[in-house]
Structure 1
């Protein structure tokens, strides 16, 4: 067989050639105007997704301070609680156990 003699899988080679022919046909074939317009829209959308220029408005959020609900703020608020409130919470906790 040719596979043993040359070391080429003819079926795989034929499939690769068929895929290339189909790709060439699709690229150079004259499409109807509606399909060309749709293809152009898809290409422009793909380009928009692959670039980050349309995300420039996100840069404004970088200047905002971090939200007040961060873990550091929560710890700070706990330190500000009165001793009586801390004792009450501790007593409730121990009453559960």
Structure 2
């Protein structure tokens, strides 16, 4: 929705909704790791999830900034495409 937002205010509203959604989903992800991973691999699973989060925060800003140099819509469309592939 952010990529097709008709105005800056609408994009801010959509970004707020995305943040609220992430706030609901994130605890579920952390809670599911001990449930779906063998007990001997829980710490490794938590480490992989934490590393992925850190890498996404570290790489997301420069990659998003580069994509935004084309148009401000591009980062949202690329993220949507990657999400569909996943």
TM value normalised by structure 2: 0.29
Larger Rg: 1
TM value normalised by structure 1: 0.27
